[in-house]
Structure 1
């Protein structure tokens, strides 16, 4: 298995350089295309409060300001993308409706790369992150310090459909890893599951994965993060939003714990 196209949404901000660098790091071992997609603030988002059929001086000024900001942001995003030395890459700038364009581009990519701020609901790409994970159900990589392709990858496993989807979609990453460890918090789950099943699935694809059963009861997420750190994992693969999204929002859930952690980098899929 392999990946052919890695997408990096860009905002024209300072984080673009780190996002592009992470995308290139992920694309290079697969010879994949790196797609830099500039997603500006959408003019269509401000039209409803202007009033149908009316465009006064204040509103017109606001529209012009948005257009000017988008042009400046695009120039900065292009510069950050051009500074990346990876050769197989393509830049594009989205026009209104931006979110529809972002969705369309994501459907023809293998992984979408973000940094920490959007994943934590901060900055101009926060909505894009939620859109990719929850609505488009695209696999995302949250790049953090220490990201490495070809090192140790930990897989959080609970036998559920989100975790299984994440493990399947991450298989190219697992195939490149020097070590794969399956982390199973059996006592923290309400369902019964056998981590050996995932181990066998990996073996059928040529991946020699170890299994570590965690003994801690209660909330699984902190134990999984601790175990991933102890294993020296550069990347943790996990399912996202395993509970209904409203329940995740109210009670936090494992996804929120993973997103609020500092390390390792995360490969998430819903």
Structure 2
């Protein structure tokens, strides 16, 4: 199992250079292609926003938008070339329901997101949720390139989302120096000590160990404390295992992991 296509939504801003560098570090071990997808609002959306009978956008406003889009695309192409990676692609899509971006992600092995987007801020915030939850494309979130080796933590409850995340993260796990499977019995619907996950990885020649976290509180803080203590470089976790309404009202472990700083990169799968 290898990755062949790593996708990065871009806007032509200052943060794109960093996220493309992260993509390069992730793609190189697999000789995978990097697909940069530029997103922009469309002229149609401006008219819809203006509304019938209002002082909607003029031809000048539409022309300004088109010029801005052209500049953004050109900047993204420059940044993509600057990383010095041979296997790159560039696509441009509009923000109308994110149909174009969603379509592009369907053949991507992982999508790299800038961290503030995953916390609900910025142009791609709604696209992040749609692509992670509806398209079920794994998300990678990091502040710097992931170095080879290192320590990987796996948040494990035996559930569907955690199992899918583990399976999809196997390419990342093969070069890890240490893999720790964290279980929080208090927060589990069914007892699970991580032994099945250890066996699954062992069948693929990957060695892992289990660590049970004893707490009477929520799983999120316990996991974050554990990965800080151990020095985890990457945390693999299932994303949003509870129904959306329940998450909206009560939050959840995934939201806690996204909103809190641990220093570790995140690999999430729904």
- Tell me which interval the TM-score lies in, with the shorter structure as reference length: over 0.9
Q: 1:41 to 1:201 in 2, by over 3 A?
A: same
Deviations 1:91-149 (A, max 9, x none): 22225757211111100110000121111111222122112112211001001247334
SS, match of residue 98 in structure 2: helix
**Which residue of 1 is the match for residue 129 of structure 2?**
130
Q: Deviations over 1:224-245 (max 9, x none)?
A: 1111122221110001111112
Per the TM alignment, residue 66 of structure 1 is displaced from its structure 2 partner at its CA by 2.1
Moved runs in structure 1, 4+ residues, more than 6 A?
A: 54-57
Q: Which residue of 2 aligns with 1:194?
A: 193
* Contact 1:237-1:267 at 8 Å conserved across structures: yes
1:176 and 2:175 are equivalent in the alignment: yes
Q: CA deviation at 1:64?
A: 2.4
Q: Is the 8 A contact 2:39 2:95 kept in 1?
A: no
Residue 174 of structure 2: SS of its match in structure 1?
Answer: helix
CA distance in 2, matches of 1:163, 1:58: 46
Offset at 1:44?
A: 3.4
Partner of residue 165, structure 1 = 164
Query: What SS does the aligned partner of 1:8 have?
Result: strand
**Offset at 1:78?**
1.4
SS in 2 for 1:121: coil
Q: Does 1:222 align with 2:221?
A: yes
Residue 79 of structure 1 aligns to a residue in which SS? helix
**Higher mean C-alpha deviation, range 213-222 or range 57-66:** 57-66
- Count of matched residue positions in the alignment of Structure 1 and Structure 2: 269
CA distance in 2, matches of 1:236, 1:264: 6
Q: Partner residue of 2:27?
A: 27
Deviation at residue 257 of structure 1 after TM alignment: 0.6
Paired residue for 1:5?
5
Where do 5+ consecutive residues of structure 1 fail to align? none
Query: How far apart, in 2, do the equivalents of 1:145 and 1:34 lie?
Result: 17
Instruction: Give 1:71 deviation, angstroms.
Output: 1.4
- The change in CA–CA distance for 1:216 and 1:79 in structure 2 (over 3 A counts) is same
Map residues 1-270 of structure 1 onto 2, 5 A cutoff. 1-51=1-51, 58-95=57-94, 97=96, 99-145=98-144, 147-262=146-261, 263-270=263-270
Cα distance between partner residues in 2 of 1:143 and 1:109: 18
Q: Aligned pair in 2 of structure 1 residues 151, 116: CA closer, same or farther (>3 Å)?
A: same
> 1:10 and 1:205 mapped to 2: Cα distance?
35
Question: SS of the residue aligned with 1:14?
Answer: coil
State the TM-score, normalizing by the size of structure 1.
0.93
Instruction: After TM superposition, give the deviation of residue 22 of structure 1 in Å.
Output: 0.7
TM-score, length-normalised on structure 2?
A: 0.93
